[in-house]
Amino acid sequence: MLKKILKSTIIVIIILILALSGNVMIALAVSQSDLDEINGKINDTEDKIDYVGTQLSSAMEQIRSLNAEIAEYENDIDDLDEQISEVNAKIETAENDIKKAEEEYNEQENRLKRRLVALYKAGNTTYLDVLLSSKNMVDFINRYYYVTELAECDQNLMEQIEENRLEIEETKKLLETSKEQIESLKKSKEDTARSLKNSQAMKQTYIDQLNDEEKALQDELEQFEIDKKQIQEELERIAKQNNPGVVAGSPSEAGYIFPVQGLNIYNINVRSYPSYPGHTGVDININVKGRNVIAAKAGTVITSTAARYANGEYRGYGEYVIIDHHDGTMTLYAHMSPGTRTVVEGQNVAQGQILGIVGTTGNSTGYHLHFEVRINGRCVNPLPYFQ
């Protein structure tokens, strides 16, 4: 009842504003973009009313916030593990380089020592003595050539020894820096792991406060978090495998179109990111059936499936599709209507191609499209891609 009254009041206020700003003819002549903006504002208000009417308990709100915090800590730990692995690889390479350089340095040093011993045993004989003792011109030229080669060889050997010595010193400095970096990364990981453990303990405290109905809902949310984590890990793997070294450009370079046919950014219910803690995309609310979900950009379908419980009921993203655009970005389209997905895994799709129909499958309370943008498998703010 409250929702109907508020909705009616909003519509009346908007009509009055339009009428007061000119006359009825001006109001009727309002552009389509103005109407879209007005409809967007109405949708925003309706969503806020819906949220107030169904808002979760304080404990559930805290759990949802902690879920986002926990996910962030887990991502940080994954990043730190990757950095530690990379630095360990650098240390291993540096240690091998030092070992090889030192072996070569020792060999060169021994060669130089043997050369000095030979010169010592030769007494005071000089290169000039060797040349002047030549029997004839041909013998002189041959001796001159050998003397020149020996002198050059001695010079090169000494230069190589010095270069190797400097290289070993530089590599050892790099090794020490890498070892200090490892210690710093391990300390960061320990701190993050401690924060993660504290958040998980606090979350359990709030879970213990839930009633039976809320615990059932919490179980669904928990499963959704598990699903999201598994999807992220798989997408990170695919990104490394299919697009190694590819770096995503700025959102303005992405060339995306809006993912619901006939709608625009004003149909996004909350134009901020995240709209609530742990929300990994934006919700395009239409509250009507039949709208087509379309590819925001050309690419390859890497997932086209339905998330279900063992009993067949939808969970998480419900019916969803993920597209790899091969430019460092991926897009995810979730909660589509049952049986409406028109693409399969491995299929190449064109920009604007229909993927399915907006629905409310999975963790959804009304007809809308949940849309995500991911870079290297990780969620980022989708809103700049529509500017």
List % helix, strand, coil for the chain (3-state, nearest 5). Answer: 60, 15, 25
Kind plus residue range of the DSSP H or E element containing 267: none
* pLDDT at residue 133, rounded to an integer: 58
Is residue 40 domain-shared with residue 155, that is, in the same domain? Answer: no
Q: How many of the other CB atoms lie within 10 Å of CB of 177?
A: 14
* pLDDT at residue 15, rounded to an integer: 45
Residue environment code for 113-152, b if the CB has 16+ CB neighbours within 10 A, otherwise e:
eeeeeeeeeeeeeeeeebeeeeeeeeeeeebeeeeeeeee
**Vertex 114, ends 109 and 115: CA angle to 5°?**
95
Domains: count for the chain: 2
Is residue 187 domain-shared with residue 258, that is, in the same domain? Answer: no
Is residue 147 domain-shared with residue 248, that is, in the same domain? Answer: no
Is residue 304 domain-shared with residue 362, that is, in the same domain? Answer: yes
* Beta-strand pair 329-336/314-324: antiparallel
> Is 183 contained in some domain?
yes
Is residue 41 domain-shared with residue 138, that is, in the same domain? Answer: no
- Secondary structure class of 159 (helix, strand, coil): helix
State the CATH number of the domain containing residue 275.
2.70.70.10
Is residue 364 domain-shared with residue 233, that is, in the same domain? Answer: yes
What's the pLDDT tens digit per position in 228-280?
Answer: 889 988 998 999 888 877 888 889 888 999 999 989 998 898 888 988 888 89
Residues spanned by the domain of 122: 80-197
CA atoms of 327 and 254, how far apart (whole Å): 8
CA atoms of 272 and 265, how far apart (whole Å): 12
Q: Tell me the CB-side half-sphere exposure of residue 294, using CA atoms within 13 A.
A: 18
* pLDDT at residue 247, rounded to an integer: 82
Q: Which of 165, 197, 229 is the last residue of a domain?
A: 197
Q: Which of 140, 163, 197 is the last residue of a domain?
A: 197
Is residue 321 domain-shared with residue 179, that is, in the same domain? Answer: no
What's the pLDDT tens digit per position in 214-232?
Answer: 888 888 888 888 888 899 8
Asked if the model's pLDDT at residue 364 lies above 80, the reply is yes
Is residue 243 domain-shared with residue 282, that is, in the same domain? Answer: yes
Is residue 257 domain-shared with residue 116, that is, in the same domain? Answer: no
